[in-house]
Amino acid sequence: MNVRCNYCRQSFNLSRDYLVEAIAKADEKRQKYHTVECINCRKAIKVSVPQMKRYAPALPAEDEAEAES
């Protein structure tokens, strides 16, 4: 899943494994947003949990061929 920093416009990719873990933590805390640190400027970027779920469904997927950017 591609994320763009609001501060420096750096865009970077979050892996499926990362998303699955982040979604689990967000669900546990009932958060609507997950915070990631920008790889460039290190500011906190909010990523919406529903959006992450679209990229990494709760059930583990066997194929990763259909990844959309």
Residues engaged in binding Zn ion (CB under 5 A): 5, 7-8, 10, 38, 40-41
- Residue 20 or 22 with smaller CB distance to Zn ion: 22
Q: Are 8 and 38 in contact (CB under 8 A)?
A: yes
Within 10 Å of residue 6's Cβ, how many Cβ atoms? 13
Q: Smallest gap, in angstroms, from Cβ of residue 42 to Zn ion?
A: 7
Compare residues 27 and 37 and give the one whose CB is closer to Zn ion.
37
Q: Please, what is the minimum distance in Å from the beta carbon of residue 39 to Zn ion?
A: 8
Question: Among residues 15 and 40, whose Cβ is nearest to Zn ion?
Answer: 40
CA terminus-to-terminus distance, the chain? 6
Element at 55 (helix H, strand E): helix 49-55
